Amino acid sequence: MKPWSKKPVIATLGSHSALQIAKGARDEGLHNLIVTIPKSTALYARYPCVNDVLEIESYGAFPSIEKKLRATNAIIVPHGSFVAYLGLKQHKEMNVAYFGNKNVLDWEFDRRKQRKWMEEASIVVPKLFSRNEGIDRPVIIKTFGAAGGSGYMLAKNNTDLKKYIKKMAGKQYILQEYIIGVPMYVHYFYSVMDKRLEILSIDRRYESNADGIGRLPIQHQTGLLEPSYTVVGNSPLSVRESLLPELYAMGERVITASKNLISPQGLFGPFCLEMIIDERQHMYTIEISARIVAGTNLFINGSPYADLFFDVPMSTGRRIAREISVAYKRKQLHKILHLDSHEKK
Ligand code: AMP
Ligand code: AMP
């Protein structure tokens, strides 16, 4: 294995949480590089925390720069746009050193696998309904893959359900019990170097139109509009301290289960458990994101939770850079990278 004689360069795609990742790298003394498409080059060039911008015509052209990235000792830090813009296949085939375990991607993308993972970790999830059975409670119809909540539909009864299922022809989706409560997104980081799980921050999403409906008088809400869940932004959340023990226990169980299910070393680095807490304070996990989520952008300058661990403002982006930097110094980068085929030789 190549000992990484030169310091690694943190590279990512220009979108989603790229600025946070770039600033985090700079704060940890690592060079960064952002790969952009023409419409966003000027944006990333604006910021002093971005060292290099490398433009490609379209995301499809990513393979054409892989050789260059390898030559600069780049480590790719993935975020939500990788699957959304590159697609799962291209993302997996990317032939550059990669922070994280790519085998986790299959478990994140396929909602049935996700569910198996959550069950293995004893995480409570909302009830799933199959297409042919009737529903006895409101159900949310969700497509596969991270799409920021867009395209989801809420069926109140079987009549709604039939109508919506027709619209979903040819798509992969699930029918999930709809939980009424507060959506809470917990941003974890599991450090291989420190063998420690950290909650770095928590957000709740602001979604259109679901979060706007309450502003309408009740007579306008009824029958006039369908709720939708397209994410518009995020707001910070601090939770009742008495909820923290369970949140940590859930994160630990997810990591332990991943070690058994996902070769070679399970999940590590940033991940997010997206849950809804009902009035009994029961936590229903609706999804796991096995990478940095956009809600962490609220905390580029640290968060109340990260401050409990670190004396410097620690964003998730910076935490990733620190893990990489520590691994580099200890000559243990192989423990946290999915290496490209050149490296493995
Ligand atoms: P964008 O770069 O804004 O086009 O986003 C890339 C992907 O990340 C899309 O799938 C978005 O739906 C998702 N995304 C972007 N911002 C957020 C956010 N604040 N919260 C959740 N998902 C997001
Ligand atoms: P997701 O793509 O799974 O992160 O979901 C996007 C948004 O849809 C969430 O932030 C919730 O507002 C809503 N949502 C998803 N699943 C459920 C559910 N089972 N019950 C209630 N709301 C949900």
Atom of ligand 2 nearest to the CA of 284: 19
Read off the pLDDT of each residue in 206-219 and give the average, rounded to a whole number. Answer: 87
Atom of ligand 1 nearest to the CA of 84: 10
Q: What mean pLDDT, rounded, does the chain reach?
A: 92
Question: Which residue's CA is the closest to the ligand 2 atom numbered 18?
Answer: 178
**From ligand 2's centre to the CA of 176, what distance in Å?**
9
Side chain identity at residue 137, one-letter code: R
Output the pTM of the full model.
0.91
With a pLDDT cut of 90, the percent of the chain lying above it is 73
Per the listing, tokens 């296949």 go with 89
Q: Is there a contact between 80 and 289 (Cβ–Cβ < 8 Å)?
A: yes
Check residues 274 and 212 and name the one with the higher pLDDT.
274
**From ligand 2's centre to the CA of 149, what distance in Å?**
7
Is the pLDDT assigned to residue 87 strictly greater than 90?
no
Task: For residue 114, give the ligand nearest its CA.
Answer: 2
Q: Given this model, what pLDDT does residue 192 score?
A: 98
pLDDT tens digits for range 47-58: 999 999 999 999
What is the C-alpha separation between 70 and 107, in angstroms, rounded? 27
Q: Which residues contact 265 (CB under 8 A, 6 or more apart)?
A: 101, 192, 259, 335
Check residues 150 and 211 and name the one with the higher pLDDT.
211
Q: Is there a contact between 342 and 15 (Cβ–Cβ < 8 Å)?
A: no
Q: Given this model, what pLDDT does residue 227 score?
A: 83
pLDDT tens digits for range 103-127: 999 999 888 899 999 999 999 999 9
Task: For residue 275, give the ligand nearest its CA.
Answer: 2
pLDDT tens digits for range 31-47: 999 999 999 999 999 99
Which residues does a 6 A CB cutoff place in the pocket of ligand 1?
Answer: 15-16, 80-81, 84, 146-148, 205, 231, 233-234, 294-295
pLDDT tens digits for range 130-183: 988 889 999 999 887 646 677 788 999 999 999 988 888 888 888 999 999 999
Q: Is there a contact between 227 and 154 (Cβ–Cβ < 8 Å)?
A: yes
- Dihedral angle over CA of 307, 292, 321, 37, nearest 10: -130
- Angstrom CA distances, 45 to 22, 244, 297, 321, stand at 12, 40, 19, 20
Task: For residue 148, give the ligand nearest its CA.
Answer: 1
Q: Give the model's confidence band at 345: pLDDT under 50 very low, under 70 low, under 90 confident, else very high.
A: very low
Read off the pLDDT of each residue in 196-221 and give the average, rounded to a whole number. Answer: 90
**From ligand 1's centre to the CA of 295, what distance in Å?**
9
What is the C-alpha separation between 65 and 71, in angstroms, rounded? 10
**From ligand 1's centre to the CA of 57, what distance in Å?**
21
Check residues 321 and 2 and name the one with the higher pLDDT.
321
Which residues does a 6 A CB cutoff place in the pocket of ligand 2?
Answer: 126, 140, 142, 149, 152, 176-179, 183, 205, 207, 210, 229, 274, 276, 286-287
Q: Give the model's confidence band at 1: pLDDT under 50 very low, under 70 low, under 90 confident, else very high.
A: very low
Selection from 7, 1, 9, 20 nearest residue 187 by Cα: 20
pLDDT tens digits for range 264-321: 999 999 999 999 999 999 999 999 999 999 999 999 999 999 999 999 999 999 999 9
Phi-psi region of 153 (alpha: psi -120 to 50; beta: other; left: phi over 0): beta
Q: Is there a contact between 271 and 253 (Cβ–Cβ < 8 Å)?
A: no
Task: For residue 85, give the ligand nearest its CA.
Answer: 1
Atom of ligand 1 nearest to the CA of 149: 12
Is the pLDDT assigned to residue 29 strictly greater than 60?
yes
Q: Give the model's confidence band at 217: pLDDT under 50 very low, under 70 low, under 90 confident, else very high.
A: confident
Q: Given this model, what pLDDT does residue 86 score?
A: 87
With a pLDDT cut of 70, the percent of the chain lying above it is 95
Q: Given this model, what pLDDT does residue 3 score?
A: 54
Read off the pLDDT of each residue in 61-74 and give the average, rounded to a whole number. Answer: 95
- Angstrom CA distances, 180 to 111, 137, 237, 281, stand at 21, 11, 18, 11
Atom of ligand 2 nearest to the CA of 210: 12
| Residue 273 backbone phi and psi in degrees, to 5 | -100, 120
What is the C-alpha separation between 194 and 307, in angstroms, rounded? 17
Question: Which residue's CA is the closest to the ligand 1 atom numbered 1?
Answer: 16
**From ligand 2's centre to the CA of 14, what distance in Å?**
26
